[in-house]
Chains A and B, each alone.
Chain A
Amino acid sequence: MAKITFDGIEIEIPDGTTIMNAARTVGGSIVPPAMCYYTPLKGSGGKCRACLVKVTAGSTKDPRPMPKLVPSCITSVQDGMVVENTVNQQVLDVRKGIVEMLLINHPLDCPVCDQAGECDLQNFAFEHGVSTTRYTEERRTFDKIDIGPLIQLHMTRCILCYRCVYTANQIAGDRVHGVLGRGDAAEIGTYIENIIDQDFSGNVIDVCPVGALTDKTWRFKQRVWFTKPVNAHRDCPKCSGNVLLWYKGKDVLRVTARKDEYGEVKEWICNECRFEKKETSDWTIEGPAHIDRSSVISANHYELPVLNHSVVADLPESTQRELEKNPPLKLGS
C-alpha cells in the first residue's frame, strides 16, 4: 500500500495504482480530466495531456519534486507522494492551454454533432477552457467516411486519442483501421476502403470521446438530451446483454453500453445488441438510468427523485401519498 496526498487529501491505495485512479477513489471535482485514457483499454493514456498534474514530492524515499508536470493517468503512485491538481495554478493554466490546443483544429460544429450533450471535449472545454479563441488560421478538415454501413467516421472532429484503435486491437479483434499519416495530418482510417464489421466493432463508438465515430443508425435522429436512457438487458449469446436503451417516446432510438461516472464502458456489447435490437420487446427493462446532475441529459428530470429519507417526514401529506404509490428508485439501479 502507498499513502499519497492529493490536493491535500490523504489517500491510501495499493502500490502500482496510477495517480488518476487514486484520485478517482475520492471522486468529485478533484479528479483530473481524461480525454485519451480509458481504464479498460491497455496501453491507453499519456497522449492528450489533459490530466497533467504537479508532483511536489516524488516519494518518501526521494521527496524531490518532479521537474515537469506528469500525466496522472499513467504515472504510478509512490509512498509519500504529494500531488497537486486543482490547487496548483500552473496545472490549471496548462490545462487551459491543452483545451486551446485541442480546439484549434476542431470544427466546433456542436449544433449539428450527434455527440453534443455527451461529448468529453465539450465538457472539458466548458470546465477548463476559456470562451474566446486566439486561433485565426485555417482549420484542418477531412471528408466524412463511412466505415461500413453502421459507423461513420468524421475525422475532422477527432482528437487522436487512439481509444478506437486499442478497442479494435483488444476487444473487437482483427483490426482493419488505425492511425495513418503523422503530425497534425494524422488520421484514423482503413487506408484502402474497408469496412469494420467484427462482432464488437460498435464499441469504438462508445469509447470515442468526441463525435468522430458515430452510430449511423442513430445519426441526426434526435438531440441526446431529448432522449431518456433506460437500463435493459437481454439474453445474448455474444455479450452480457446489459445495455442502455435511449428512448424518445416509445421508440428506442439507440442502444449503447452502460458507462460509469467517468464515461468508461462497464461491459462491452455486441453489434447485434447495439444495432439490431431496437424494439422494447427485445429487452427486459430495468428502469431509468441514473444520469449525473451536471449532464445536460438530466435536464428532463425524467428520473424519479432520489430522496433523502430524513427529510421525507417534512414533506406535505399529498407528496408523501404520491411517494407511497411511486416509491423512489435507488441510485444507480
Chain B
Amino acid sequence: MGRKLLTEHINVEGIDTFEVYRKHGGYRSVEKALKTMTPDEVVEEVKKSGLRGRGGAGFPTGLKWSFLAKPEGVPRHLVCNADESEPGTFKDRQLMSKLPHLLIEGMITSSYALGANTSYIYIRGELLYVLRILEKAISEAYANGFLGKNILGSGYDLDLHVHPGGGAYICGEETALLESLEGKRGNPRNKPPFPAVQGLYARPTVVNNVESIAAVVPIINDGGDEYAKLGVGKSTGTKLFSACGHLNKPGIYEIELGVPVEEFIYSDEYCGGIWKGRELKAVVAGGSSVPILPKELILKTAAGEDRLMTYESLSDGGFVTGTMLGSGGFIAMDETTCIVRNTWSFSRFYHHESCGQCSPCREGTGWMEKVLHRLEHGHGHMEDIDLLVSVAKQIEGNTICPLGEAAAWPVAAAVRHFRDEFEWHVTHAKEAARPGAVYPGKAVLA
C-alpha cells in the first residue's frame, strides 16, 4: 500500500468535525503558512511540488498561481471548482463529504498564498447535501479562528463561502463556472481575457479543482520537495482515481502516480479485477472525454511497455494509441460491453450538456448523438461511420471552450479502435440492435 497524503484519515470516526480533524494534524498547514511563510513562499513550495491540476487538464498549479494579476487596490479571488460532473469521476464528492476540513484547510492556505480575502467553493447543485456538510465545517472553522478577521493573529482576513450550481456540466469549465457564480447562464467566456486577469466580477481569479487545493495541505506541511519525491517524472505526488464500471471493487483509490495500470485493475489492493470473472474489453482512463482504449493498449503501450498511471505514460502514443489521465475517472468495460451503445451514451451526455452558445458544439453534438442512436438501433449506414469522424473533426478545436473536444474525442477514438464493431452494427443491424447483443470480434489497435 503506497503513501496516502489526502485520504489517510478518511475512515476515522468523526473526521468531518473540527475537533477530530485537528487532533489528526489538521490545520497545521495554515499555522505554518500564516506564521512562518510569506505568500510568495507558499506559491514557491507549490511550484516545487510539481503539482498538476487534478481537474483534468493537468496544468501545473504553481505556474497557474504565478499568472495571477495583482493590480493595486483590486480584490482577488480563489474559487474552488467542485462542479465534479465528468462521467466516471466521483473523487471530489467523496473527499468533500468525508473530509470537509481538508478542503477548507487547503482553501485557507491557498487563499493566503494568492492574497485573496474572499474565496468561494462552487459545488455542483446536485451535491446540496455536501454543501450542508461544508457549511457546517466552515462555521466550525470560523468559530475556531481559522476563518474570518485576523486569522491566528496574523493580520490575514479570509471569508469562505460555498455556492451551489444548478445542474450543468459546462459549469466545470472555469469561465462558465464564474458566469454561474455571478448568477448567470453557464456560458463559457471567450478567452482572452483569462480569469487570472479578469475572472470573478472582472477581478483577478484563480480557479482550482478540489483535489488540487487539498493537495496543497501536504505540500505545505512536508514541503514541495518531499511531495515531488513521490510519483514518476513530471507526474508527482499522489492522485485520486475514481474506479467504476465493470470492476469487482469500484471506488476511490489514492495512489502514488506510477502504479502500473494492470496492477490497478487486477490487484486486490485496488480494483480487484473484472466482475463476474469476465475479460476486460476497454478502458476510458480519465473521465468520459478522453479517448477509449482497448484492453491491449491500456495495459501496454504500443511499444510494448507497461502502461503506468501517470500523465506521461497514459498519453504515450498520442491519440493514435494513447489516451489521457484527465480527471482520473477510470471506467472499465467488460467483454460484453457494446462500444457503440456506450459511445452513444457519452454523445448523448455532451449533447445534453452543450450550452448552445457556439454553433459547432450546439449543432454538432446533437448530430453525432442522432447518428450514433441510429447505428445502435439498427438504422445505420456504412457512410455514417466516416460521417461521425468528420463531424467530430468539425467540432474539435473550433469551439469557445473545451466541451467541443470533450464531445469529439470519445467518438473519434471509439471509431478508431472499434471500427469493425461499428460496421457490424450496419451489416448485422437487427442482431446488433437486440438488447444485450455482444459483438464477437476484436478491437483495432492502431
- CA of A197 to CA of B75 in the docked complex: distance in angstroms? 40
> Quick check: B364 and A160 within 8 Å, CB to CB?
no
- CA of A303 to CA of B412 in the docked complex: distance in angstroms? 54
Q: Per-position contact with A for B350-367: 1 when CB-CB < 8 Å, else 0?
A: 011111111110111111
- CA of A69 to CA of B399 in the docked complex: distance in angstroms? 9
B-side contacts of A160, CB under 8 Å: 356-357, 359, 362
> Quick check: A185 and B356 within 8 Å, CB to CB?
yes
- CA of A48 to CA of B355 in the docked complex: distance in angstroms? 13
Least CB distance, A244 to chain B, in whole angstroms: 29
- CA of A140 to CA of B366 in the docked complex: distance in angstroms? 10
Chain B residues 321 to 369 lying within 8 A of chain A, measured CB to CB, are: 351-360, 362-367
> Quick check: A47 and B363 within 8 Å, CB to CB?
no
B149 within 8 Å of A by Cβ? no
> Quick check: B190 and A159 within 8 Å, CB to CB?
no
> Quick check: B400 and A47 within 8 Å, CB to CB?
yes
B387 within 8 Å of A by Cβ? yes
Q: Per-position contact with B for A180-208: 1 when CB-CB < 8 Å, else 0?
A: 01111110000000000000000000000
Binds B, one of A95-103, A222-230, A315-323: A95-103
Smallest CB-CB separation from A74: which chain B residue? B190
Of B352, B358, B366, B370, which is within 8 A of A48 by CB? B358
Chain B residues 225 to 247 lying within 8 A of chain A, measured CB to CB, are: none
A68 within 8 Å of B by Cβ? yes
> Quick check: B359 and A183 within 8 Å, CB to CB?
no
> Quick check: A102 and B371 within 8 Å, CB to CB?
no
> Quick check: B356 and A69 within 8 Å, CB to CB?
no
> Quick check: B400 and A134 within 8 Å, CB to CB?
no
A-side contacts of B362, CB under 8 Å: 101, 160, 183-184, 186
A177 within 8 Å of B by Cβ? no
Least CB distance, A239 to chain B, in whole angstroms: 31
A-side contacts of B353, CB under 8 Å: 183
Chain B residues 169 to 205 lying within 8 A of chain A, measured CB to CB, are: 185, 190
A46 within 8 Å of B by Cβ? yes
B168 within 8 Å of A by Cβ? yes
- CA of A245 to CA of B3 in the docked complex: distance in angstroms? 78
Question: Contacts A69-B397, A184-B351; is A101 near B364 (CB within 8 Å)?
Answer: yes
SS class of chain B's interface: helix, strand, loop or mixed?
Answer: helix
B398 within 8 Å of A by Cβ? yes
Least CB distance, B370 to chain A, in whole angstroms: 4
B-side contacts of A74, CB under 8 Å: 190
A83 within 8 Å of B by Cβ? no
B301 within 8 Å of A by Cβ? no
A105 within 8 Å of B by Cβ? yes
Question: Contacts A48-B359, A183-B356, A184-B362; is A137 near B371 (CB within 8 Å)?
Answer: yes
Chain B residues 71 to 117 lying within 8 A of chain A, measured CB to CB, are: none
- CA of A159 to CA of B390 in the docked complex: distance in angstroms? 22
> Quick check: B168 and A182 within 8 Å, CB to CB?
yes
> Quick check: B394 and A101 within 8 Å, CB to CB?
yes
B-side contacts of A45, CB under 8 Å: 190
Chain A residues 116 to 168 lying within 8 A of chain B, measured CB to CB, are: 134-135, 137-138, 140, 159-160
Question: Contacts A97-B394, A137-B367; is A49 near B360 (CB within 8 Å)?
Answer: yes
- CA of A134 to CA of B389 in the docked complex: distance in angstroms? 13
> Quick check: A184 and B356 within 8 Å, CB to CB?
yes
Smallest CB-CB separation from A50: which chain B residue? B359
B-side contacts of A236, CB under 8 Å: none
Least CB distance, B221 to chain A, in whole angstroms: 38
- CA of A48 to CA of B190 in the docked complex: distance in angstroms? 12
> Quick check: A97 and B398 within 8 Å, CB to CB?
yes
B-side contacts of A46, CB under 8 Å: 190, 358, 400
A-side contacts of B370, CB under 8 Å: 137-138
A179 within 8 Å of B by Cβ? yes
B-side contacts of A159, CB under 8 Å: 359
> Quick check: A98 and B352 within 8 Å, CB to CB?
no
Q: Per-position contact with B for A81-118: 1 when CB-CB < 8 Å, else 0?
A: 00000000000001001101110110000000000000
- CA of A101 to CA of B390 in the docked complex: distance in angstroms? 12
Least CB distance, A154 to chain B, in whole angstroms: 18
Least CB distance, A100 to chain B, in whole angstroms: 7
Question: Contacts A94-B398, A184-B351; is A101 near B363 (CB within 8 Å)?
Answer: yes
Least CB distance, A156 to chain B, in whole angstroms: 14
A-side contacts of B168, CB under 8 Å: 182
Question: Contacts A49-B399, A137-B367, A137-B370; is A101 near B359 (CB within 8 Å)?
Answer: yes
Least CB distance, A128 to chain B, in whole angstroms: 13
Q: Per-position contact with B for A253-264: 1 when CB-CB < 8 Å, else 0?
A: 000000000000
> Quick check: A183 and B387 within 8 Å, CB to CB?
no
- CA of A68 to CA of B399 in the docked complex: distance in angstroms? 10
> Quick check: B185 and A182 within 8 Å, CB to CB?
yes
- CA of A134 to CA of B351 in the docked complex: distance in angstroms? 19
- CA of A184 to CA of B358 in the docked complex: distance in angstroms? 10
- CA of A161 to CA of B24 in the docked complex: distance in angstroms? 55
- CA of A124 to CA of B361 in the docked complex: distance in angstroms? 19
Smallest CB-CB separation from A46: which chain B residue? B190
B-side contacts of A77, CB under 8 Å: none
> Quick check: A102 and B394 within 8 Å, CB to CB?
no
Least CB distance, B210 to chain A, in whole angstroms: 25
A-side contacts of B358, CB under 8 Å: 46-49
B-side contacts of A181, CB under 8 Å: 356
Residue from A97, A138, A179, A185 with most neighbouring chain B CB atoms (10 Å): A97
> Quick check: B364 and A182 within 8 Å, CB to CB?
no
A-side contacts of B374, CB under 8 Å: 137
Least CB distance, B80 to chain A, in whole angstroms: 24
> Quick check: A183 and B394 within 8 Å, CB to CB?
no
Residue from A45, A46, A48, A140 with most neighbouring chain B CB atoms (10 Å): A46
Least CB distance, A94 to chain B, in whole angstroms: 6
> Quick check: B397 and A68 within 8 Å, CB to CB?
yes
B-side contacts of A140, CB under 8 Å: 366
A22 within 8 Å of B by Cβ? no
Smallest CB-CB separation from A35: which chain B residue? B359
Least CB distance, A44 to chain B, in whole angstroms: 11
B-side contacts of A185, CB under 8 Å: 356
Least CB distance, B188 to chain A, in whole angstroms: 10
Residue from A69, A135, A138 with most neighbouring chain B CB atoms (10 Å): A135
> Quick check: A102 and B354 within 8 Å, CB to CB?
no
Question: Contacts A47-B400, A69-B398, A100-B394; is A183 near B371 (CB within 8 Å)?
Answer: no
Q: A47-B359, A69-B398 are in contact. List 15 more A-B contacts (CB 8 A).
A: A49-B358, A49-B399, A69-B397, A94-B394, A98-B359, A105-B366, A135-B367, A140-B366, A179-B185, A182-B355, A183-B354, A183-B365, A184-B354, A184-B362, A184-B363
**Which 9 interchain pairs have the tightest Cβ spacing?**
A97-B394, A186-B356, A46-B190, A101-B363, A137-B370, A183-B354, A183-B356, A184-B366, A101-B359
8 A–B contacts, CB within 8 A, in A order = A69-B397, A101-B394, A105-B366, A135-B367, A137-B370, A137-B371, A184-B354, A184-B363
Q: Which positions in A face B, CB cutoff 8 Å?
A: 45-50, 52, 68-69, 71, 74, 94, 97-98, 100-102, 104-105, 134-135, 137-138, 140, 159-160, 179, 181-186
